[in-house]
Amino acid sequence: MPDKPLGLSDNLRGFGFFDQHGDLIVLTTHTGSHAAQAQVRLADLEDGSYVARDLINDERVAFVISGQAGSFSFSVERWGVRPWQIRKQK
């Protein structure tokens, strides 16, 4: 993913930003009319263990950044919106 710090599976649209606390916030929206699996790919982050937390339903997905890249997957409802807070674990 050179020069692309945020990648989304083909069935997602979205964007990311760092908030005032230094957490990465990624807002995703599903473009399909049926529930599906989706993936967020991240690059240029410090290696380590991370947790992505859905800011609506508090679902948590643990994942690892290695070689400054990693990803996490999740299910999404048709036309669903998922706002994720991504935080490195201490």
Please indicate, yes or no, whether the overall pTM of this predicted structure exceeds 0.85: yes
CA neighbours closer than 13 Å in the CB half-sphere of residue 76:
28
The secondary structure of 10-51 as a DSSP string is TTEEEEEEE-TTS-EEEEEEE-SSS-EEEEEEEES--SEEEE
Interval 51-84: pLDDT, tens: 999 999 999 999 999 999 999 999 999 999 999 9
Q: How confident is the model at residue 4, as a pLDDT? A: 80
- Using the predicted structure, report yes or no on whether residue 3 has a pLDDT greater than 80: no
Q: How confident is the model at residue 2, as a pLDDT? A: 53
Which domains does the chain possess? 6-88 (2.60.40.1180)
Beta bridge partners of 6: 42
- Please tell me the distance from the alpha carbon of residue 71 to that of residue 54, in angstroms, as a whole number: 15
